[in-house]
Structure 1
Amino acid sequence: MAKMPQRVFMQIPSSPDVVDYGAGSAGVGWRNGQLDRRGFERPWLAVVTVLAALLGGCDAVNDVFVCLVEAVFRAGTSSAPPPADAVTVPAHVETEPVADPCDAADDPAVWVNPDAPDASLIVATNKRRGLVVYGLDGGLRTQLDVGQTNNVDLRSLPGSAGAGEVTQAVALVAASNRSSDTVDILHLSADGRLVPQRAIPAGFDGESPYGICLYQGTADLYAFATYKDGAVRQWRLASGADSLVRTLRVASQVEGCVADDPAGALFVGEEDAGIWRFDAEPDGTAAPILMDAMREAGGHLVADVEGLAIHASRDSAESGYLVASSQGNSSFILYDRSPPHSYRGSFRIGAGGVDEVTDTDGIAIASTPLGPQFPTGLLVAQDGDNQGPAGESQHQNFKLIPWHKVTSTVGTR
């Protein structure tokens, strides 16, 4: 999530209990029974936000006010220039916008239907209310209001069917829920239904779980939750016996993460510093390796580092790409999947059949063919500034890009 002044996120609830702010964003509200004021570099913004809080019973007024403040800050700032070698890949399909205005859509994950790949599903977060499920045509299948779910990931369940058993659970879904300070575990069925299973307490020292990613280890399934204080906590998932196995750390705020299951590797994005690689197995080393840094430190990234995703090649268990959302210049960076994770190119997502993509938070990749539209896989990217056919501003959504368009345009193998 972008920091001020690039973006302001303020949520004004109808009851003055908790106001949850995006990373580095501004807000005034009640938290733990006390007035909580954080992130303000401009005193006038604190004043007008308090005035908005007094209108907490009027959702429509709150929405207008929040969006107005965001628009003011965006109008007064500009994105960093893209990398010199960045190319443009067109967006082809988009999802229906999320139900809420302003900074709401965040992170996607893709379930590949093994029986009917073109019937695969996208599970995504609306961080103002819960989870949404889309088809590959962008149409909404399900909305589940479970709280402020920020990030989401999933893994197919062993032995699950695809389109033939539409009501059977086919995937385990994990979401970081900042309303309840939990990692929520749900089941996804092939018809797009989400069924909550359990909630793992995940609040520590006043910090809510922020990002989430799953890792299928050599013996067990694990969830990694990231935190604004730089912590990365790892749970072993077992129904009725979930257990925290270790805590990793970087120096500052981290959100996006992705695990490379065959490689036993975890990648996390420290938003203002770069991308780190950890051993994903719980008995592995806790010492991270810096994979890439910010542009000013000689790397390729512009803060914030946001979504991370892996495209696994069908040719081998090691080849493929790690992709990162470089939010500060609305670009996407490609690295080799295998060490030393060499830089392979950069791209932006431009207008194609739909509008361009900017200010991206989360991304997801499916590495297998998903029908004629996506013959070598799919990239899903959150669009922070969604626009309609006439250029009018709409609620945020997600864009779908055929993976072969990325590789052919960037010029990678």
Structure 2
Amino acid sequence: MKMFRKVITIGFALTLLLQVSAFVSAAEEEEEIEYDPLREVYLDPLHAAVVYDGKTKSILFKLRNGTEGKVTIGSDKWTVGKVSGKFDAPVKSKDGVTYIPEADDFEKLVKVETANGNSLETSVQPPANYFTVKADAETDAVADGDDAADDPAIWVHPTDPNMSTLIATNKDGGVLVYNLNGKQLYSYDVGEVNNIDIRYGFPLNGKKVDIVATSNRSDNTIEVFVVDPVSGELIGVNGAVMHSKMAEVYGFTMYHSLVTDKFYGIIVGHEGEFEQWEFFDNGKGKINGKIVRSFRLGSITEGVVADDEYGYMYIGEENVAIWKFNAEPNGGLLPIGRVDSVDGIRLTNDVEGLTIYYGKDGGGYLLASSQGSDRYVIYDREEGNEYITSFGVVDGAVDGSSETDGIDVISFGLGDNYPNGIFLTQDDRNITNGEKFNQNFKIVSWDKIAKGSPTPLLIENQDPRKLKLRR
């Protein structure tokens, strides 16, 4: 009996030893699996477009030949085009970085696909060229010092273009309204607002109104105003609080879909986050909103603009590229293409403000602020977004502009002084007679830019209230 117990004891011990050995062996095998950061090692060197879908915890990417792929955090599966495969272990995420197990088959496939063409670029952009213009006027300086003035928008008066206004943000003091001579008319201390935009004809309380909206970093929300059609004053019309889910709201624009007649507010964030909010009348004379699309790019974004006629949206990933997306909320999460790279040739980091010059019959331009080179870069607005030229605003009767954040442009005539519209730009260093003042905004007649360009640009009066669907 004792011998039998001893045999059982020895057998049990051996079983435990084998189980422990197997566990240790499996653990060692798991420890031997090496992980690499997906974007930095596999995708960025191939100049792929990358976004994160928070709903599915998936990293979506588009290679230069247009092939799309996906990996999902917590899963060992991957897809590249029509090909699927498995990693040796699940995909991991740490501190916002996605890691995948080393995978030769995955790496070879993305490289082969990348070599098979380049449809991600909207155009093969030509070398840069450059000219300069001088500002016609400037606004009063913002009340706060340091880096306070940020982004402007241009409101067209419905009956008298001379009464149009410039609406801008003071990151430390709220929303400002200027007349076309640059004199401040109104100030609204609503918090640390960053970017601002305007749209016409929003249906509210049985009327069509002009609305202005801005990203507010004080409480991570969207602020919405109606513009008084006579005085140009702003009237707050927020209903339920539109509180963003991102860590900190940053860039902002609006989009009016000419397909559905719906209006949207679009926010981008410090970590590349993106939220598209649908605005609607809450039935009480106020505006509510709901998130209808969200994703995340790989790094900091601020500049963003929508082209209402073509239904496109452009996002500036500050140190990477200008990306072109479908602006409709059901338009997918990956970009249509890359307009240009931030490589020091045409764009020097940071790429900041973006704006659209609407010409007649679908013509016009996409303009971008290349902050690191004190230049403004002009691309064709139509399908290929081909690079046209770059310009700077230099010292004249008023000082030039430098290290610009936000910009805006309009082709519509703004009265006697600006019959063919203006370009409006934030100035980081506002200097007069050698003395430095708080930041402000510079006003340049579009005529100067159009005629000063090596290739003459369009001069066309397009009423922003009469845009047409172009696709």
Bin for the TM-score computed over the shorter chain = 0.7 to 0.9
RMSD: 1.8
Of 286-295 and 337-346, deviating more is 286-295
Q: Which residue of 2 aligns with 1:149?
A: 193
Amino acid at match of 2:421: G
1:311–1:367: 8 Å Cα contact kept in structure 2?
yes
Q: Which residue of 1 aligns with 2:435?
A: 392
Q: Is 1:381 paired with 2:425?
A: yes
Report the CA distance between 1:187 and its aligned residue. 1.3
Alignment counterpart, residue 409 of structure 1, candidates 452, 459, 462? 452
Match of 1:135 in 2: 179
Which residue pairs with 2:318 in the alignment? Answer: 271
Whether 1:202 and 2:243 are equivalent positions in the alignment is yes
Q: State how far apart, in whole Å, the 1-side matches of 2:146 and 2:275 are.
A: 30
- 1:172 aligned residue: 211
- 8 Å Cα contact 1:169-1:188 kept in structure 2: no
1:14 corresponds in structure 2 to: none
Contact 1:274-1:293 within 8 A present in 2 as well: yes
Partners of 1:338 and 1:407 in 2: CA distance? 18
Q: Which secondary structure does the structure 1 equivalent of 2:448 belong to?
A: helix
| Aligned mates of 1:133, 1:328 — CA distance in 2 | 28
Q: What whole-Å deviation, never above 9, does each CA across 1:195-251 have from its counterpart, x for those lacking one? A: 21116433325x121111000012200110011111111011013342110113321
Q: Cα offset for 1:169?
A: 8.8
Taking the TM superposition and a 5 Å limit, the aligned residue runs for 1:20-169 are: 85-157=129-201
- Do residues 253 (structure 1) and 294 (structure 2) align? no
CA drift at 1:119: 1.1
Report if the CA contact (8 A) 1:112-1:366 is conserved.
no
Q: 2: CA distance between counterparts of 1:322 and 1:200?
A: 32
Say whether the 8 Å CA contact 1:89–1:405 is kept in structure 2.
yes
CA-CA distance at 1:84 after TM superposition: 6.1
| Distance in structure 2 (CA, Å) of the matches to 1:177 and 1:323 | 24
Q: How many corresponding residue pairs? A: 318
Which of the numbers 325, 331, 353 marks the counterpart of 1:307? 353
Deviation for aligned residue 1:158: 5.2
Partner of 1:183: 222
Show structure 2 runs of 5+ residues with no match. Answer: 1-126, 283-287, 458-471
Change (3 A) 1:200 1:86: farther
Give the corresponding residue for 2:46.
Answer: none
CA-to-partner distance for each residue in 1:279-331, whole Å, 9 max, x for gaps?
001111221121100125xx5100001000111112x1x21010000000110
SS in 2 for 1:263: coil
Question: For residues 372 and 194 of structure 1, what CA distance do their matches in structure 2 show?
Answer: 25
Gaps of 5+ in 1: 1-82, 161-167
Counterpart residue number, 2:343: 295
Query: Does the 8 Å contact 2:197/2:213 carry over to 1?
Result: yes
Over the matched positions of the two proteins, sequence identity in percent amounts to 39
- Residue 279 of structure 2 corresponds to residue 231 of structure 1: no
Residue 159 of structure 1, CA deviation? 8.7
Distance 2:144 2:441 in 1: 14
Q: Equivalences for 1:339-350 in 2 at 5 Å?
A: 339-350=383-394
8 A contact 2:203–2:281 mirrored in 1: no
Q: What CA distance in whole angstroms lies between the structure 2 residues aligned with 1:348 and 1:169?
A: 38
Asked which structure has the greater CA Rg, the reply is 2
Q: Amino acid of the residue matched to residue 274 of structure 2?
A: V
Instruction: Find the residue that maps to 2:294 and give its secondary structure.
Output: strand
Change (3 A) 1:183 1:158: closer
Q: Which whole-Å CA distance do the structure 1 matches of 2:439 and 2:269 have between them?
A: 24
Paired residue secondary structure (1:373) = coil
Query: 1:369 and 2:413 equivalent?
Result: yes
Cα displacement (A) at 1:372: 2.5
CA contact (8 A) 1:142 1:192 kept: no
In structure 1, what is the Cα distance between the partners aligned to 2:420 and 2:209?
22
Distance 1:251 1:334, change over 3 A: same
Tell me which residue corresponds to 1:221.
Answer: 263
Which residue of structure 2 lines up, in the alignment, with residue 280 of structure 1?
327
Is the alpha carbon distance of 1:87 and 1:305 closer, same or farther for their aligned partners in structure 2, counting shifts above 3 Å? same
Structure 1 170/134 Cα, relative in aligned 2: closer, same or farther at 3 Å? farther
Q: For structure 1, which segment, 322-331 or 240-249, has the greater mean C-alpha deviation from structure 2 after superposition?
A: 240-249
Residue matched to 1:351: 395
Give runs of ≥4 in structure 1 deviating > 6 Å: none
> Which residue does 2:99 correspond to in 1?
none
Q: State the secondary structure of the residue aligned to 1:248.
A: strand
Q: Output the CA distance in 1 between the equivalents of 2:404 and 2:252.
A: 17
What amino acid is the match of 1:308? L
SS of 1:407's equivalent in the other structure is helix
Task: Give the residue type in structure 2 aligned to 1:203.
Answer: S
8 Å CA contact 1:370, 1:376 repeated in 2: yes
Per-residue CA deviations over 1:315-368 (Å, capped at 9, x if unaligned) read x1x210100000001100000001210000000001232111111000011121
* Contact 1:141 1:192 (8 Å CA) reproduced: no
**Secondary structure of the structure 2 residue equivalent to 1:201:** coil
2:289 equivalent in structure 1: 242
Distance 1:95 1:170, change over 3 A: farther
Instruction: Give the TM-score of the pair, scaled to structure 2.
Output: 0.65
* Cα distance in 1 for residues equivalent to 2:417 and 2:203: 27
Provide the secondary structure at the position in 2 that maps to 1:98: coil
8 Å Cα contact 2:202/2:208 also seen in 1: no
Between the aligned partners of 2:330 and 2:203, the Cα distance in structure 1 is: 28
Distance 1:344 1:243 in 2: 38
